């Protein structure tokens, strides 16, 4: 029978002693975690294993002996180590040995109660697999896509076997901390034998994190309770809050801060990774916002922006007036219905006049408004982008009104033409059953229908032209807002911490392992080196991407074209959770 023994590379040069680890009978595998050195008392070793088992909930035992014969020319120590099997009885009992002055290894497993076989009495063949204990401890194996890359001659390993190895090392972390600073009763060799990886600053930060998080969590809970007040749920306020992307972004920022400063420990590595990704995302967002704030307040750029806003608004108004004058004439040589053309043109010109009057009325307060709005960048770049999107929506509200008027008028004529077309074919729309049924019409109904159909057909080109022009303007504004929302959504949802781990420490996110043959010689155990395959960047994005409340397209291209053709109001970029009208 072939047994797999996972041996840490950090223990290859350790002094002789006992092998401590876990036996996995389902895979016939032994996971060695540490080497116990002399002098020790057997009862202290057993107490240590019991404490680790209680803290890490993993069954540990003494699996065998380890003999490094670099300073033991005599065989007395080897016989003494073999005699320890009577004190620490384990089935099977491993005996690993490294030859003096050589890279060769001898390894055997003895079963005391097993009946001897004809080939190897009481012994099993062992496949020795070396692994980096630190990388396995810090890595997170992703079972759904574990890839086992094996070279020629490598031994197979199952997903369950690898999961058991990673789980054993992860749960045995108390064993690696038991002998810190030489205070433990038993001297061990493991990945932290050369020194504890910590610092005074890290320890102080851990002690201070608890009270700070508790204070900030209480403050955030008060803010959440105030935002949930019934006053903000009244109809005018609730309607405004639901339409402003700034309010949505502030609500998301509150959720992010609540998650970051929560005093509850993460129940799984996925929750811990999400918390870390959220923290890094918020820090980057606030940093970019502070840089934007410093740039705005340097050289009085806010005043320059306020001074340039009124001329830009006047220029946009002049361009729209020129466009309406062009439409009220003979646009592109088309002959329009002059009466309807004049009515629509004067109606839209009056709206432009009202909008310009509103802008000039707000001119004295624009700089103060921009100054206070610029301070919101200290909450993050995404908050500033949301305010910019809402500002664009308010400044182009007249274009939105033009689009709504044109779309409603165009849709009314399209619906009238389709209804009158059914009248000519002897059909009608059944409202109750939501279908087209046959119907007989008299001569007067057909005559009136013909007149109305003719009027709508000749008025349709004028209405369609206004609808086309203002729809293009509206789509231009919506495209700009969509790009702003996509940028904010990208900052909010990118798993920056996970991407940084994948770039700097790729072994932290493991997609699987691969084995490399170190030694293959007749009469010697097969020695393999287990290496970690990092998770691809695409899977890192898909696995750890943060939930987003930003904008996203609600329509396919076919649905969008159909709505545009029939004059239905479209909102290509909407907040998540909004219902489609």
CA dihedral 393, 398, 400, 402 (to 10 degrees): -170
pLDDT of amino acid 112: 58
Per-residue pLDDT, averaged over 79-96, amounts to: 70
pLDDT of amino acid 410: 93
The CA-atom distances, in angstroms, between 291 and each of 108, 160, 303, 389 are: 64, 49, 18, 19
The CA-atom distances, in angstroms, between 8 and each of 134, 184, 251, 312 are: 9, 21, 48, 69
Tokens matching residue 127: 């496949």
In this predicted structure, the answer to whether residue 342 has a pLDDT above a threshold of 60 is: yes
Per-residue pLDDT, averaged over 392-396, amounts to: 85
Residue predicted with more confidence, 515 or 70: 515
Residue predicted with more confidence, 161 or 115: 161
The CA-atom distances, in angstroms, between 505 and each of 61, 141, 398 are: 32, 14, 53
Per-residue pLDDT, averaged over 214-238, amounts to: 77
Least confident residue range of 10-14, 28-32, 95-99, 195-199: 195-199
The CA-atom distances, in angstroms, between 259 and each of 116, 210, 211, 345, 428 are: 60, 14, 16, 54, 57
In this predicted structure, the answer to whether residue 496 has a pLDDT above a threshold of 90 is: yes
Angle at 305 between CA 301 and CA 310, to 5 degrees: 160
pLDDT of amino acid 563: 85
pLDDT of amino acid 118: 45
pLDDT of amino acid 143: 60
Per-residue pLDDT, averaged over 282-298, amounts to: 90
Q: What is the pLDDT of residues 174-199, one digit of tens each?
A: 888 766 545 567 788 888 766 555 55
Least confident residue range of 145-149, 327-331, 517-521: 145-149
Confidence of residue 575 (pLDDT cuts 50, 70, 90): very low
Distance CA 31, CA 22 (A): 5
Q: What is the pLDDT of residues 24-72, one digit of tens each?
A: 888 888 899 988 887 778 888 888 888 888 887 788 888 888 887 654 5
| Mean pLDDT rounded to a whole number for the chain | 80
In this predicted structure, the answer to whether residue 76 has a pLDDT above a threshold of 60 is: no
Per-residue pLDDT, averaged over 79-97, amounts to: 71
CB 30 within 8 A of CB 5: yes
Distance CA 494, CA 270 (A): 15
CB 138 within 8 A of CB 499: no
pTM (2 d.p.): 0.78
Confidence of residue 170 (pLDDT cuts 50, 70, 90): confident
pLDDT of amino acid 121: 46
For residue 67, what is the enclosing H or E element?
strand 61-68
Confidence of residue 373 (pLDDT cuts 50, 70, 90): confident
Residue predicted with more confidence, 554 or 67: 67
pLDDT of amino acid 277: 93
Confidence of residue 83 (pLDDT cuts 50, 70, 90): low
CA atoms within 13 A on the CB side of 430: 9
For residue 239, what is the enclosing H or E element?
helix 235-243
Q: What is the pLDDT of residues 236-278, one digit of tens each?
A: 777 777 778 888 888 888 888 888 888 787 778 888 899 999 9
CB 246 within 8 A of CB 393: no
Percent of residues, the chain, with pLDDT higher than 70 = 83
């Amino acid at each position: 029978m072939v047994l797999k023994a996972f041996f840490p590379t950090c223990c290859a040069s350790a002094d002789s002693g006992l092998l401590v680890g876990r036996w996995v009978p389902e895979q016939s595998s032994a996971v060695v975690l540490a080497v116990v050195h002399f002098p020790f008392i057997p009862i202290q070793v057993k107490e240590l294993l019991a404490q680790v088992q209680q803290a890490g909930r993993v069954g540990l035992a003494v699996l065998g002996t380890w003999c490094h014969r670099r300073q033991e020319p005599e065989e007395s120590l080897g016989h003494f180590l073999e005699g320890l099997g009577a004190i620490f009885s384990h089935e099977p009992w491993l005996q690993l040995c490294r030859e003096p002055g050589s890279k060769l290894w001898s390894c055997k497993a003895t079963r005391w109660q097993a009946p001897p076989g004809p080939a190897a009495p009481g012994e099993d063949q062992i496949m020795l697999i070396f692994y980096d204990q630190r990388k396995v401890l810090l890595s997170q194996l992703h079972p759904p896509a574990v890839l086992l890359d094996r070279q020629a001659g490598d031994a197979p390993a199952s997903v369950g076997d690898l999961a058991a190895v990673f789980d054993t090392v992860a749960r045995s972390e108390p064993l690696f901390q038991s002998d810190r600073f030489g205070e433990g009763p038993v001297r061990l060799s493991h990945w932290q034998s050369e020194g504890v990886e910590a610092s005074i600053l890290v320890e102080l930060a851990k002690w201070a994190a608890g009270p700070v998080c508790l204070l900030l969590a209480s403050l955030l809970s008060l803010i959440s309770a105030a935002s949930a007040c019934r006053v903000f749920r009244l109809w005018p306020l609730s309607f405004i809050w639901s339409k402003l992307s700034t309010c949505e972004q502030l609500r998301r920022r509150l959720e992010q801060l609540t998650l970051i400063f929560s005093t509850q420990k993460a129940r799984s590595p996925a929750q811990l990774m999400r918390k870390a990704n959220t923290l890094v995302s918020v820090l980057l967002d606030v940093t970019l916002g502070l840089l934007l704030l410093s740039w705005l307040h340097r050289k009085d750029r806010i005043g320059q922006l306020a001074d340039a806003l009124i001329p830009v608004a006047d220029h946009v108004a002049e361009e729209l007036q020129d466009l309406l004058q062009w439409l009220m004439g003979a646009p592109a040589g088309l002959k329009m219905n002059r009466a309807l053309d004049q009515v629509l043109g004067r109606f839209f010109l009056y709206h432009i006049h009202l909008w310009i009057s509103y802008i000039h009325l707000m001119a004295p307060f624009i700089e103060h408004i921009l100054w206070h709005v610029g301070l919101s960048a200290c909450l993050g770049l995404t908050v500033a982008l949301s305010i910019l999107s809402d500002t664009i929506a308010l400044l182009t509200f007249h274009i939105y009104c033009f689009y709504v008027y044109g779309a409603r008028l165009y849709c009314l004529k399209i619906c009238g033409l389709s209804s009158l077309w059914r009248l000519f074919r002897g059909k009608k729309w059944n409202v109750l059953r939501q279908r087209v049924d046959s119907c007989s019409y008299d001569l007067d109904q057909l005559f009136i229908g013909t007149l109305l159909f003719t009027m709508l057909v000749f008025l349709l080109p004028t209405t369609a032209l206004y609808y086309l022009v203002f729809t293009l303007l509206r789509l231009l504004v919506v495209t700009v807002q969509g790009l702003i929302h996509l940028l904010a959504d990208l900052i909010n949802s990118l798993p920056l911490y996970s991407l940084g781990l994948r770039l700097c420490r790729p072994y932290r996110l493991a997609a699987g392992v691969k084995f490399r043959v170190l030694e293959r010689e007749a009469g010697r155990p097969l020695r393999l080196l287990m290496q970690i395959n990092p998770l691809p960047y695409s899977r890192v994005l898909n696995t750890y991407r943060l939930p987003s409340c930003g904008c996203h397209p609600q329509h396919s291209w076919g649905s969008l074209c159909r709505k545009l053709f029939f004059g239905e109001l479209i909102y290509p970029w909407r907040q998540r959770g909004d219902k489609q009208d």
